[in-house]
């Protein structure tokens, strides 16, 4: 996140005037609080403290990389030592302000804690604390990545940090405040810096490119702002790379090629292949994406982001961010995929992130994750259906193959809206006595199957069905699952019906409770069989052993 610098080029200056090129992240680094965009809460707190002379002796700036921690610390050091006086608006023209900007102010001691982890190095740093500053009002110690200090170094710093001389200020910065001891945190005024929103990063890009005279395309800046991931410093570094890659221009195609994100455009199509059960087309899409040598780990991350945006659009379309440039495919996927499918695919991809490094190669791991979505999506063909496909017959040599027999055509039926449907059953088939037998015939799966298993039939009259849902299945109630259950019942009966589900414990055993009871009975029988097994008894007697009842597991095959 960092900051936005609103500062024009010097009068008469051009890019060719400088002896050497200065990277954008350094050239556009803020030099005053007014040049900051973002971090308003921190800027306001520091400005009020400077203007009202309510300064703390130690500040801790926390936040992810590139959000302006050391930048704010340097501006604070400049505000404390400016020759015009202590204020939130240093002049920027005096010798001290210029020396701070150029990194050569003697009373500003910048230390990288990662390279000074030993306690003797910390003691050497602190031995000059009692001495007065050379030129400025305050001697400022700026310690970056302070969480890298060892415990001994923190202990050496602790006493000085608690009661420093009046002419010393400590400015600490860290990306991981969890590793800083509580004793140190309690002695600092903590400033938590936020990640910069995508819109602010993109706006800063436009300002910088306009000042630099570089042509750009909006879609390219959207891509770069997303890759920056909330860090302005990283964003400006990537923007520098994009300018060099594009020969002085920032174009969408060049940025995609540079970032290796061309394959990301195929992700919505892959999800459509999964929804359409098109395994062959899915593998072709993956093969075409692999020809562009993508980072499959990053591609899987982008798949998660895509599914997240689809799920957001389904529950709150107004929350969709058009700045991402993919609103149209998001809308199409949100209408094509049921919400429960999106959640399932997200869970599979999330677990796939953990398993991807264990795959033989990244591409095969990515393929298996998408094939897993294809296999486990609701409504996928069962293993029995897949196993019933006949294998091709091996023809004997010298014999011509027999002509294929035409497949029998089913007789047309009324209300035939699906390719196949369960055999219609009379109304008497579904009543208080045989709900347990009807339920397996409905072909349900997922939440709708579990919902039906926790129900019993309360009443069934005049094509109106009232189901009683037990309290154990109350969390399963939902519009999508109920609609699927009603659709399955209508398909089973061959006619429409009215269905209502009421939350009520009627004392009657539900199919789910029956299954649990059957499992307990089978488990008890298995334990009894093990206890009475002659071999087990011989082992117990011969080795003075004891059968662990909890270790007895049923064979589910």
pLDDT in tens, 217-272: 888 888 888 888 889 999 999 999 999 988 888 988 888 878 866 666 788 889 99
- Helix, strand, or coil here: 136? coil
As a residue count, the chain comes to 557
Query: Within this chain, do residues 184 and 45 fall inside the same structural domain, yes or no?
Result: yes
Q: How confident is the model at residue 50 (pLDDT cuts 50, 70, 90)?
A: very high
229, part of any domain: yes
CA distance linking residue 49 with residue 314, whole number of Å: 46
211, part of any domain: yes
| Half-sphere exposure (Cβ direction) of 338: Cα atoms closer than 13 Å | 14
Which of 83-97, 122-136, 273-287, 540-554 comes out lowest in average pLDDT?
540-554
Q: What is the pTM of this model?
A: 0.58
Q: What is the mean pLDDT of residues 531-544?
A: 83
Range of the domain at 320: 292-376
- 193 in Cβ contact with 1 (< 8 Å): yes
Query: Within this chain, do residues 442 and 334 fall inside the same structural domain, yes or no?
Result: no
Per-residue confidence (pLDDT) for residue 253, from 0 to 100: 84
pLDDT at 427 exceeding the cut of 60:
no
270, part of any domain: no
Domain CATH code at residue 492 = 3.30.300.150
Query: Within this chain, do residues 134 and 31 fall inside the same structural domain, yes or no?
Result: yes
pLDDT at 384 exceeding the cut of 50:
no
Number of domains the chain is built from: 5
Query: Within this chain, do residues 349 and 468 fall inside the same structural domain, yes or no?
Result: no
Query: Within this chain, do residues 532 and 476 fall inside the same structural domain, yes or no?
Result: no
pLDDT digits (tens, 9 = 90+) for 298-316: 889 889 988 998 999 888 8
Query: Within this chain, do residues 185 and 202 fall inside the same structural domain, yes or no?
Result: no
CA distance linking residue 97 with residue 85, whole number of Å: 11
Query: Within this chain, do residues 86 and 204 fall inside the same structural domain, yes or no?
Result: no
Q: How confident is the model at residue 325 (pLDDT cuts 50, 70, 90)?
A: low
CA 333 to chain centre: 19
Q: What is the mean pLDDT of residues 507-531?
A: 87
Strand partners, 60: 172, 190
Query: Within this chain, do residues 356 and 303 fall inside the same structural domain, yes or no?
Result: yes
CA distance linking residue 38 with residue 36, whole number of Å: 6
Choose from 71-75, 464-468, 527-531 the range with maximum mean pLDDT.
71-75
Query: Within this chain, do residues 501 and 517 fall inside the same structural domain, yes or no?
Result: no
Query: Within this chain, do residues 103 and 187 fall inside the same structural domain, yes or no?
Result: yes
CA distance linking residue 325 with residue 224, whole number of Å: 12
Percentage with pLDDT > 90 across the chain:
28
Q: Residue 250, Cβ neighbours under 10 Å: how many? A: 22
Per-residue confidence (pLDDT) for residue 381, from 0 to 100: 56
List the one residue out of 225, 217, 226 whose CA is nearest residue 246.
217
- Helix, strand, or coil here: 421? coil
99, part of any domain: yes
CA distance linking residue 129 with residue 132, whole number of Å: 8
pLDDT at 80 exceeding the cut of 90:
yes
Per-residue confidence (pLDDT) for residue 437, from 0 to 100: 82
Decide which of 192, 212, 238 is a domain's last residue: 192
Query: Within this chain, do residues 447 and 343 fall inside the same structural domain, yes or no?
Result: no
244, part of any domain: yes
- 369 in Cβ contact with 308 (< 8 Å): no
pLDDT at 498 exceeding the cut of 50:
yes
Decide which of 134, 161, 192 is a domain's last residue: 192
161, part of any domain: yes
3, part of any domain: no
Q: Which residue has the tokens 């024009």?
A: 8
pLDDT at 17 exceeding the cut of 60:
no
pLDDT at 130 exceeding the cut of 50:
yes
Query: Within this chain, do residues 454 and 500 fall inside the same structural domain, yes or no?
Result: yes
Q: How confident is the model at residue 418 (pLDDT cuts 50, 70, 90)?
A: very low
Q: Residue 140, Cβ neighbours under 10 Å: how many? A: 25
178, part of any domain: yes
Sheet holding 189-192, edge to edge: 108-112, 139-144, 168-174, 58-62, 189-192
Domain CATH code at residue 232 = 1.10.8.60
Q: How confident is the model at residue 321 (pLDDT cuts 50, 70, 90)?
A: low
Decide which of 176, 192, 208 is a domain's last residue: 192
Across the chain, mean pLDDT equals: 81
Q: How confident is the model at residue 82 (pLDDT cuts 50, 70, 90)?
A: very high
Q: Residue 401, Cβ neighbours under 10 Å: how many? A: 8
């Amino acid at each position: 996140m960092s900051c936005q610098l609103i500062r024009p080029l010097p009068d008469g200056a051009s890019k060719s005037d400088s002896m050497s090129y200065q990277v954008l992240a350094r050239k556009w680094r803020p030099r005053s609080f007014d040049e900051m965009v973002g971090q308003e809460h921190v800027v306001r707190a520091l400005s009020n403290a400077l203007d009202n002379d309510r300064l703390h002796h130690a500040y801790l700036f926390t936040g992810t990389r590139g959000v302006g921690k050391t930048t704010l610390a340097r501006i604070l050091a400049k505000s404390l030592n400016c020759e015009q006086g202590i204020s939130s608006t240093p002049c920027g023209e005096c010798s001290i302000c210029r020396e701070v900007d150029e990194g050569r102010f003697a009373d500003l001691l910048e230390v990288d804690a990662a390279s000074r982890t030993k306690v003797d190095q910390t003691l050497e740093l602190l031995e000059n604390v009692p001495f007065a500053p050379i030129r400025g009002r305050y001697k400022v110690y700026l310690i970056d990545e302070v969480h890298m200090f060892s415990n001994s170094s923190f202990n050496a710093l602790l006493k000085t940090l608690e009661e420093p001389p009046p002419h010393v200020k400590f400015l600490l910065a860290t990306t991981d405040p969890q590793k800083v001891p509580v004793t140190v945190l309690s002695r600092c005024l903590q400033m938590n810096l936020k990640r910069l929103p995508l819109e602010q990063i993109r706006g800063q890009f436009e300002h910088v490119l306009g000042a630099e005279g570089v042509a750009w395309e909006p879609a390219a800046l959207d891509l770069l702002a997303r890759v920056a991931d909330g860090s302005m410093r990283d964003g400006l570094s990537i923007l520098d790379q994009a300018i060099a890659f594009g020969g002085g221009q920032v174009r969408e195609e060049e940025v995609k090629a540079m970032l290796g994100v061309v394959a990301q455009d195929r992700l919505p199509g892959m999800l459509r292949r999964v929804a359409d059960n098109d395994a062959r087309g899915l593998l072709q899409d993956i093969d075409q994406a692999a020809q562009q040598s993508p980072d499959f780990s990053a591609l899987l991350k982008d798949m998660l982001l895509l599914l997240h945006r689809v799920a957001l659009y389904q529950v709150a379309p107004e929350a969709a961010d058009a700045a991402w440039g993919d609103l149209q495919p998001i809308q199409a996927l949100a209408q094509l995929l049921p919400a429960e499918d999106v959640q399932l695919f997200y869970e599979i991809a999330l677990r796939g992130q953990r398993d991807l490094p264990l795959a033989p190669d990244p591409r095969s791991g990515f393929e298996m994750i998408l094939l897993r979505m294809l296999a486990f999506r609701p409504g996928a063909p069962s293993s029995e259906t897949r196993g019933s496909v006949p294998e091709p017959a091996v023809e004997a040599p010298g014999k011509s193959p027999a002509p294929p027999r035409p497949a029998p055509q089913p007789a047309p039926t009324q209300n035939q809206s699906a390719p196949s449907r369960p055999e219609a059953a009379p109304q008497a088939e579904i009543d208080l006595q045989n709900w347990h037998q009807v339920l397996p015939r409905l072909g349900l799966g997922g939440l709708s199957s579990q919902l039906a298993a926790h129900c019993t039939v309360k009443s069934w009259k005049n094509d109106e069905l009232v189901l009683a849902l037990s309290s154990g299945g109350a969390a399963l109630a939902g519009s999508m699952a109920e609609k699927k259950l009603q659709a399955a019942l209508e398909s089973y009966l061959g006619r429409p019906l009215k269905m209502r589900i009421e939350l009520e414990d009627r004392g009657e055993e539900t199919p789910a409770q029956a299954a649990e009871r059957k499992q307990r009975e089978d488990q008890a029988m298995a334990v009894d069989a093990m206890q009475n097994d002659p071999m087990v008894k011989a082992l117990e007697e011969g080795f003075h052993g004891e059968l662990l009842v909890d270790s007895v597991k049923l064979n589910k095959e």
